[in-house]
Amino acid sequence: MPSMTLTCFLCNMPMDQRRDSAPQGRAAHNACRKAVGGVGVHGVSGYRRGCRCDTCRLAQNASVAEYARKRKERDGVGLTARWRQDFKAKHGYWPQRGGGDWIAPKARRAIYDRDGLACYICGDQLDRLTEINDPKAPTIDHVVPRSKGGTDDLDNLKTCCRDCNVRKSDSMPAEALLLT
């Protein structure tokens, strides 16, 4: 049975003490916290990551910015660049870039036109207007995969149907022909 030993530091009314109660002097009713908008109870909310008021968020942002600044000063590069370097050291290739097309739309069209919109693995004729998830949708394939040292040079890019591109995955050209 809960004992009435704590008092709310905002309203000075008694409150039940539970296993997860804050210590005396920091304990407050949820209603009192909400009524004062979190004033004086920063970091003592019911949220796992602490208080979500603007004051606490600004303080957290400043703390993270200071941490990033110190790491950049220590390592010579930012947090993201450092993570990418560590990934390359561990896996032997750079992590994939995020967002947008890897190949610019104008270059993509030029590759399709150069290859006559035909899959270089199975030889099927492809249609640009095909639904993107269709097995015969045109895609651009790295002949020598990026994970094995391939580049985004136009010589290393060829038109490929989605089905063959997925089946080829990151295998080399001779290996890919065995998969068909």
Q: Do 60 and 24 fall within a single domain?
A: no
**pLDDT band, very low/low/confident/very high, at 27 (cuts 50, 70, 90):** confident
In a domain, 41, yes or no: yes
DSSP strands (E only) in the chain: 6-7, 14-15, 138-142, 157-161
Residues in the chain: 180
Q: Do 34 and 71 fall within a single domain?
A: no
pLDDT(73) > 50: yes
Whole-angstrom CA distances from 112 to 26, 39, 161 are: 67, 62, 11
Q: Please tell me the total count of domains within the chain.
A: 3
In a domain, 98, yes or no: no
Query: Rg (Cα) of the chain, in Å, rounded?
Result: 29
Domain that holds residue 134: 105-179
Q: H helices then E strands: how many in the chain? A: 6, 4
Q: Do 44 and 27 fall within a single domain?
A: yes
Q: Do 4 and 25 fall within a single domain?
A: yes
Q: Which is higher by pLDDT, 72 or 27?
A: 72
In a domain, 171, yes or no: yes
